[in-house]
């Protein structure tokens, strides 16, 4: 199914189903056919994060606040998402952005990256998962010079996961970033909404 952004209920359900199956089918094959646990979702909750990791959680939304509005507005990439003003559609868009962000980590990191690094050096597995990750985000709407942002992000997510082994941590990082993505896209379409950014659309 097409990954073009659309918050109508039929598309919302269709894309959600496709993404869920993309995680569930490899997981089922891993468990039921190969009888192994190559695909895992290591939450590792309750662990104390070192100071650099806590600082990164602050840096991510701050960098997003500085960079994302400029990217979406200057490139016009925000037009790859629908112009939304209705409250229920905004709510669906917010849920959708965060659901896709969660799926990104379950599929690209815990599935693709995990399987690739069983057969390849970690660095190469990370590069390959990043290529797949960035290709998906391109289809989703991060076009123009978007890969200059999404490629480093994908590589960092893989690197951090390989170091921490914590899905919880990389997921929090991603959702913090996606919260700013949501605000920036809505603001780009509706300058009067979420007017907290340095870059404002010209009207």
> Which tokens is 202 given?
């010209």
Rounded Cα gap, residues 154 and 148, in angstroms: 11
The DSSP letter of residue 32 is I
Angle between helices 51-75 and 167-189 (to 10 degrees): 30
7 close to 86: Cβ distance less than 8 angstroms: no
Q: Does the pLDDT of residue 4 top 70, yes or no?
A: no
Rounded Cα gap, residues 105 and 170, in angstroms: 7
> Which tokens is 96 given?
């959708």
Q: Domain ranges in the chain? A: 9-189
Q: Does the pLDDT of residue 84 top 80, yes or no?
A: yes
Average pLDDT taken over every residue of the chain: 95
Q: Does the pLDDT of residue 192 top 50, yes or no?
A: yes
The DSSP letter of residue 203 is -
Q: Does the pLDDT of residue 1 top 50, yes or no?
A: no
Model confidence pLDDT, tens digit, residues 107-128: 999 999 999 999 999 999 999 9
Rounded Cα gap, residues 140 and 35, in angstroms: 34
Give the pLDDT of residue 6: 78
Q: Which residues contact 143 (CB under 8 A, 6 or more apart)?
A: 75, 77, 80
81 close to 72: Cβ distance less than 8 angstroms: no
> Which tokens is 156 given?
């960092």
């Amino acid at each position: 199914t097409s990954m073009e952004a659309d918050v109508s209920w039929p598309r919302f359900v269709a894309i959600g189903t496709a993404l869920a199956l993309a995680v569930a089918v490899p997981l089922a094959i891993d468990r039921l056919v190969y009888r192994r646990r190559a695909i895992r979702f290591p939450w590792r909750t309750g662990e104390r994060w070192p100071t650099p990791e806590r600082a990164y959680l602050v840096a991510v939304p701050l960098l997003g606040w500085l960079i994302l509005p400029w990217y979406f507005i200057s490139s016009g990439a925000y037009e790859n998402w629908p112009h939304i003003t209705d409250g229920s559609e905004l709510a669906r868009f917010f849920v959708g952005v965060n659901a896709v962000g969660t799926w990104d980590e379950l599929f690209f990191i815990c599935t693709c990256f995990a399987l690739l690094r069983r057969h390849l050096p970690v660095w190469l597995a990370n590069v390959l998962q990043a290529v797949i990750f960035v290709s998906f985000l391109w289809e989703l709407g991060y076009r123009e010079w978007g890969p200059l942002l999404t490629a480093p992000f994908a590589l960092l997510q893989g690197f951090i996961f390989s170091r921490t082994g914590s899905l919880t941590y990389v997921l929090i990082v991603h959702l913090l970033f996606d919260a700013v993505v949501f605000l920036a896209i809505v603001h780009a379409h509706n300058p009067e909404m979420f007017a907290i950014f340095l870059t404002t659309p010209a009207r």
